[in-house]
Amino acid sequence: MGNLSEIFELGTHALQGVEHRLGMTRRDYLQFCSTLAVTMGLAKGADAAVAKAIESAQRPSVIWLHFQECTGCSESLLRAEHPTLEKLILDVISLDYHETLMAAAGHQAEAARKAAMAAHKGKYVLVVEGAIPVKDNGIYCKIGGHTAIDLLKECAADAAAVIAIGSCASWGGMPATGPNPSGASSVADVLGKTVVTIPGCPPNPYNFLATVVHFLTFGKLPDVDALGRPKFAYSRLVHENCERRAHFDAGRFAMEFGDEGHRKGYCLYKLGCKGPETYANCPTLGFGDAGENNWPVGCGHPCIGCTEKGVGFTKPIHQVAVMKNVAPPLQYARIVEENGQGATFASAAALAALAGAAAGAAAMLTRNLGKSHAAAEAQAAKAGDADKATERV
C-alpha cells in the first residue's frame, strides 16, 4: 500500500502543487487522503497510495449520462466540500461530458462526448444517473435523437468501468415504481452484467468520490456485494450505527410525529423507519458536511430505505420494517415508570415484624417436622416389637 515516505518522494514542488491545485494545506491534504482510505476500509498505509495516485496519476476521463432522474445525484455532488466540485472535476477527475454542468449544448455537447470516448477508448469511467426506459423500444427517453438504451450501450462498450449512481440507475428507483408505465430499468439489467452501484436518493457524494479514487489509486473498482454496492459503504445496516439505536434497545419509541418521544429523539421504528432492513453508511457519514446527524433519521424522519431494492419506493413509508438481525421483544418496560411512595418507618417495622414472625414460624415448623418424624419412627418401631412378641406367643 505504501507509507508516508512515498508521499514525500514526490518532492516539495509536487506537494506545493497540491496546495495550489486543491486549495488545501499539505496537512489537510494528507488528512483528506487518510479519510478516503478509512472510508474505503483500506489497510494501514493506504493513505500514502491514495495521495500519490491523486498527485501523480493521470486524471481519469469521466462521461456522465442522464436518463430518467431528477438530477438529485448531481445536486448532491455539487454540495461536496472535500474537495469541492470544481476541484474534483478539474483536478481529480476530468469530467468530459455532463449535460447539467458542461457549457456546451446540442450538437457541440454530443461532439464532446464522442471525442472523449475516442480519445480515452478503454480508459474512461462511465457514470450513469437515472433509470433507462425499455418499454416500446425505449422511446420514452431520447437524447440527441438516440434512445437511452442505445446511448448506454454505446458508451459502455469501451468504458474501463461503469458506475450507476443513485437508486434510479442502480435498480430503477422511483421511475420503476408500479405500474412502471415506461419500463424503467437499471443499468445492470440493460447491459446484462453487474456494474458498481451507488444507490441512494440521493446517494452520499463521498461514496461516489471514494469509489472513483479507489479506481484511480489501484486501477480497479472496490469490492462489491451481490447487488454491486461497494462494501465499504453498504455492508452494514443503517440500524446498527443509528444514533437512536440505544432507544430501540431500551424500548423507547416515538409513536407519532410530534409526540413526546419524537421530540426527545426516541427510536422511529414504529413510525416506519426502514433502517433495520437497509444497508448504507448514512448515520456515520451524514450529508452536506454538516455533521453525522445531518441525515433523515437525525433530522426526525424515518429512513425510507432508498438504498435498498424492494424497500425504497416499494414499501409504504410508514410500514414497519422487517428486522434483519434483531427483533424487538414482545414486551418492554414502560418508557416512564410511576414513582411509588417510599416506605415509612412504621411500615418498615411492620414488614420486619412480619418477616421475623414468618422466619420464626418456619423454624418452629422445621423443628416440629423433625420431631414428628422421629416420633413416627419410634411408634413404628414399638408397633413392630409388639407384632414380634405376638408371633412368639
Per residue in 193-210, pLDDT (tens digit) is 889 999 999 998 889 888
Averaged pLDDT, 79-94? 69
Quick one: pLDDT at residue 205?
87
Q: How many CB atoms neighbour CB 193 within 10 A?
A: 11
Listing from the earlier edge strand, what are the strands of the sheet with 196-198?
94-98, 61-66, 125-129, 161-165, 196-198
Separation CA 182–CA 178 (nearest Å) = 10
On whether the CB atoms of residues 277 and 310 are closer than 8 A, the answer is no
For the question of whether the overall pTM of this predicted structure is more than 0.75, the answer is: no
Query: Residue 103 — very low, low, confident or very high, per pLDDT cuts 50/70/90?
Result: confident
- DSSP codes of every residue in 318-371: TSPPPPSS-PPPS----SSPPPPPPPPHHHHHHHHHHHHHHHHHHHHHHHHHHH
Burial of 160: CB neighbours in 10 Å, binned 0-12, 13-18, 19+: middle
Identify which has the larger pLDDT, 217 or 88: 217
Quick one: pLDDT at residue 167?
95
258-317 pLDDT per residue, tens: 999 999 999 999 999 999 999 999 998 878 766 667 889 988 999 999 999 999 999 998
The alpha carbon of residue 160 and the mean position of all alpha carbons in its chain are separated, in whole angstroms, by 27
* Nearest in space to 332 (alpha carbons), one of 277, 269, 272: 269
Strand 125-129, strand 132-133: pairing: unpaired
- DSSP codes of every residue in 257-311: TTSHHHHTT-B-GGGT--GGG-B--HHHH-STTS-TT-STTTTT-----TTSTTT
* Nearest in space to 65 (alpha carbons), one of 135, 110, 126: 126
Cis peptide before 329 (omega within 30 of 0): no
Domains of the chain and any CATH numbers: 61-202 (3.40.50.700), 236-337 (4.10.480.10)
Cis peptide before 202 (omega within 30 of 0): yes
Query: Residue 355 — very low, low, confident or very high, per pLDDT cuts 50/70/90?
Result: low
E strand or H helix at 209: helix 205-218
On whether the CB atoms of residues 221 and 161 are closer than 8 A, the answer is yes
Task: Report whether pLDDT(26) > 70.
Answer: no
E strand or H helix at 65: strand 61-66
Q: What is the mean pLDDT of the chain?
A: 79
Q: How many CB atoms neighbour CB 268 within 10 A?
A: 27
The C-alpha cell at 252 is 423507547
115-139 pLDDT per residue, tens: 999 999 998 999 999 999 999 999 9
